[in-house]
Amino acid sequence: MKKKIAFHTFGCKLNFAETSTIARSFPASDYEIVDFSEKADFYVINSCSVTGSAEKTCRNAARSAKRRNPEAKISMIGCFSQIKPEVVAAFPEVDLVLGNEDKFNLYHFIEFPESERSTEVHNININKTKVFNPAYSANDRTRTFLKIQDGCDYFCTYCSIPHARGRSRSATIAETIKIAQEIGQSEAREIILSGVNIGDFGRKNGETFLDFLIELEKVEGIDRIRISSVEPELLSHEIIDLVAASQKFQPHFHIPLQSGSNEILKDMKRKYRREVYTDRVEYIKSKLPLACIAADLITGFPTETDSHFADTMDYLTNLPISYMHVFSYSSRENTKAIEFVNLVSPSEKKYRSEQLHILSDRKKRDFYNLCHGTQQEVLFEAQNQGGWMSGWTGNYIKVVAPFDEKLINTIQKVELNQLNLEGNFIF
């Protein structure tokens, strides 16, 4: 009988691409991949460590898996296992702990365990690695997440990711294009580029992110490409021009801001000031008036005073972005910010987060109103939710339609006129 193995992924889109690649390393002749909610012989949790709550969620997943099958072997892989292997190894539910490079050898470690009794830990010093492990998701016929870069050299004062994923690295343009060509031969119609700092692609190989994008656009079999998150100082006007002139690159930009206060950006050790961010947003809108622009915000940073927060709110109110991902600051070990005097109480942090979410909702409504009455192309997905299906426009507006198998993985022209009670346009 085949052994049953279940995977569960937390965190970023990069993790999802890597989980899919790791899962494909298990031969179908010996292993059956089942849903994480089912009884399995092996459970694999690809973990996140970006916040303390993310770590707790990973632990809870291990507990629930063990309750489902007390005899199962549970592996915790990824960022939590990389940063805190001793903490993860102490969890009684966990049998195997693999860091961010060792996780790509999961099949070997499961097939050839070193110990049947104690928890096995494999965790190399990720800061010294120069190995880049390519990955892409293949469990969705509509779109795929393509990992083009890993690690980060920035060491922002609030962020532990460089300690989890090491220094910035990527494959060459030629090597990455080969993987994109594989995807082009699949059913997937959209590629979403993922990484920790994708704008840094190719730098250590003497290549550039722009050069890669130019070559990627030439790959046959790919209808749509989303660039995903790019640091503002790395999102050049030339890249924006390429997107504006392209039939494949979608008018959807995700640009992390973190704070609208230059003083806080300096404390965070970000590599830009808000004037650079303003320039990128305004240039995008001058070229693509209906482009979607998402921003990441961290509120409650230790040195963020009421005045700094008010400055951020004023700045964002007047900035033509489309919506925001809002995160409350969470102290992380091995980061500089943990040494700062904390000026923000939990209640104040919650209040600021709520205010930013309210502003984000207003921005999203304004963006939808801007696009109301326009005709957009929608790529419909396969999921049936109560008789309805959904898809996304190129500029990342959700559109719903009565479920119809014929629409799955097709691109339809839709006029954005009617909204449902949830605030989504109806086809």
Q: What is the per-residue pLDDT for 123?
A: 80
The pLDDT tens digits for 272-297 are: 999 999 999 999 999 999 999 999 99
CATH number for the region 3-124 comes to 3.40.50.12160
Looking only at the bridges linking them, the beta strands covering 375-380 and 252-258 are: unpaired
pLDDT tier at 110 (50, 70, 90 boundaries)? very high
pTM over 0.85: yes
pLDDT at 372 over 90: yes
Q: Are 376 and 397 in contact (CB under 8 A)?
A: yes
The gap between the terminal CA atoms of the chain, to the nearest Å, is 46
pLDDT of 268 higher than 80: yes
User: Among 121-135, 251-265, 279-293, 390-404, which stretch is predicted with the lowest mean pLDDT?
Assistant: 121-135
In CATH, which superfamily holds the domain spanning 135-371?
Answer: tm_1862 like domain (3.80.30.20)
Distance CA 195, CA 13 (A): 8
- Average pLDDT of span 59-76: 96
pLDDT score of 117 more than 90: no
Cβ 117 vs Cβ 159: under 8 Å: no
Cβ contact 340:311 at 8 Å: no
Pair 381, 142: CB distance under 8 Å: yes
**What Å distances lie between residue 367 and 243, 388, 423, CA to CA?**
19, 24, 12
For residues 227 and 198, give the distance between their C-alpha atoms in angstroms, rounded to a whole number. Answer: 9
Output the pLDDT for position 115. 67
Three-state SS across the chain? CCEEEEEEECCCHHHHHHHHHHHHCCCCCCEEEECCCCCCCEEEEEECCCCHHHHHHHHHHHHHHHHHCCCCEEEEEEHHHHHCHHHHHCCCCCCEEECCCHHHHHHHHHHCCCCCCCCEEECCCHHHCCCCCCEECCCCCCEEEEECCECCCCCCCCCCHHHHHCCCECCCHHHHHHHHHHHHCCCCCEEEEECCCHHHCCHHHCCCHHHHHHHHCCCCCCCEEECCECCHHHCCHHHHHHHHHCCCECCEEEEEEECCCHHHHHHHCCCCCHHHHHHHHHHHHHHCCCCEEEEEEEECCCCCCHHHHHHHHHHHHCCCCCEEEEEECCCCCCCHHHHCCCCCCHHHHHHHHHHHHHHHHHHHHHHHHHHCCCEEEEEECCCCECCEEEEEECCCCEEEEECCHHHCCCEEEEECCCECCCCCEEC
Cα angle 357-361-362, degrees, rounded to a multiple of 5: 115
Query: Which pLDDT belongs to residue 116?
Result: 65
Give the list of residues 6+ apart from residue 346 with CB closer than 8 angstroms, or none. Answer: none
Q: What is the pLDDT of residues 16-46, one digit of tens each?
A: 999 999 999 999 999 999 999 999 999 999 9
Domain boundary assignment for the chain: 3-124, 135-371, 375-426
What band does 381 get if pLDDT is binned at 50, 70 and 90? very high
Share of the chain above pLDDT 70, in %: 99
